[in-house]
Amino acid sequence: METLTLHAYAKINLTLDVTGRRDDGYHFIESILQSVSLADTVTLCRTDSSGITVVCRDPNVPDDQTNTAYRAAAVFLQETGLPGGIRIQIEKVIPSQAGLAGGSADAAAVLWGMDRLWDTGLPAERLAKLGLQVGADVPFCLQGGTGLAEGIGEILTPLPALPDCWIVLCKPAYGVSTKEAYRTIDSIPILRRPDTSAMLRAIHQGDWACIPSQTGNLFQTALRIPEVEEISASMRRYGAENACMSGSGPTVFGLFSQPELAYACRDALALQYPAAYVCQPVPYGVHPIEK
């Protein structure tokens, strides 16, 4: 096998709490994560010559060492010492700086795919450690599904799948710098936190009646972005059982039990926000596309 094409799935944070800060600047988190069907397409092609090439038509995606997919390939080649190089083509669908881990999803796809292209058979734990060198969300994007993330995101506990539901995503036109968002968290008193334990109980019980009400995001409380609150309110008016910001924002997700309400909400939001989508939970973070 010389070429492999993969879907790299976005994630949302059903809950997100920041519980501390390490001396190196990384933050400890407690978050329940869910992979969703919104996905980039990543095509990997082995090359005989050494080197890493990243190709993407999106002008906002860099093609050098600042690209997470590039860094993932570099980490993999350095770790394994294997000859040859890789060409990475990315078709972006997941918005950038959105709180949806688009860059981390692409990096996860590169690690997952290179392991198969080179037939190295690296254990999942080793791939996750390589991913952590690229970004804190990469280990979860490799695992995918529903999970609890602790530590700086590298301590992962798989959870039961969510009940069937539809998820509307809506991102305002601007992005949010994760670094700046954490700087804000560090500078203000925290008065209210999401209840991760209550969400865990609801998920383990498969209790859809309780799951939407337990969503919560410390960044949403701390950053207080007016447009996020407006989108959240709009989603609830269109039938979302709850709406919440994902990651450090600014994307808002709304949880729906009825698909017709989800699509009506997406259509209404899309009149003002082009980055509006309907998706569903998926049980993986990376998945090959059959040709």
Question: Which residues are catalytic, by number?
Answer: 11, 137
Do 29 and 137 contact (CB within 8 A), yes or no? no
How many whole angstroms separate alpha carbon 199 and alpha carbon 193? 13
Which residues fall within 8 angstroms of residue 254, CB to CB, at 6 or more apart? 167, 168, 170, 232, 235, 236, 238, 240, 242, 243, 262, 265
Q: Which two tokens stand for residue 213?
A: 């009400």
How many whole angstroms separate alpha carbon 217 and alpha carbon 246? 7
DSSP codes joined into one string, 263-289: HHHHHHHHTT-SEEEEE-B-S-SEEEP
Do 8 and 286 contact (CB within 8 A), yes or no? yes
CB atoms within 10 A of CB 106: 30
How many whole angstroms separate alpha carbon 111 and alpha carbon 74? 10
According to DSSP, residue 26 is labeled -
Give the ranges where 29-157 is alpha helix by DSSP (H): 68-80, 102-117, 124-134, 138-143
- Give the dihedral sign, CA 272/249/34/103: positive
Whole-angstrom distance between the N-terminal and C-terminal Cα of the chain? Answer: 13
